[in-house]
Amino acid sequence: MATKTGGIHKPVTPSAELAAVVGKGPMPRSEIVSKLWEYIKKNNLQDSKDKRQINADGSLEKVFGKKSVSMFEMNKHVSNHVK
């Protein structure tokens, strides 16, 4: 089976702010999103009333630029932090 290398599977380098949450080094976007969700769940950052909202802690606020984002806009903010 061929390794997928394009699109969401193409390795990207996270910014320093994003790397503080997901780790350093090139990794596929899919892995970045996966690690973000691990972090969000581990730190209980989903809003208790609306699970689609993510309440950013200090580290995530540096990535999102604000205190709260919806899970749908999270990827847009991630895009600003990868090369």
Residue 73 is part of a domain; what is its CATH number?
A: 1.10.245.10
CA distances to 29, 63, 67 from 25, in Å: 12, 17, 26
CA distances to 57, 69, 71, 78 from 62, in Å: 9, 12, 16, 11
Domain tally, the chain: 1
- How high is the pLDDT of residue 24? 95
Q: How far apart are CA 47 and CA 29, in angstroms?
A: 24
CA-wise closest residue to 78 among 29, 8, 7, 41: 29
The answer as to whether 24 is a domain residue is yes
Q: Which ranges of the chain have pLDDT less than 50?
A: none
The answer as to whether 40 is a domain residue is yes
Q: Look up the pTM and report it.
A: 0.88
Give alpha helix (H) positions in the chain: 16-22, 29-42, 58-64, 71-79
The answer as to whether 48 is a domain residue is yes
The answer as to whether 6 is a domain residue is no
The answer as to whether 29 is a domain residue is yes
The answer as to whether 52 is a domain residue is yes
Name the residue range of residue 26's domain. 12-79
| Amino acid at the residue 25 | G
The answer as to whether 5 is a domain residue is no
Per-residue model confidence as pLDDT tens digits over 13-27 = 999 999 999 999 999
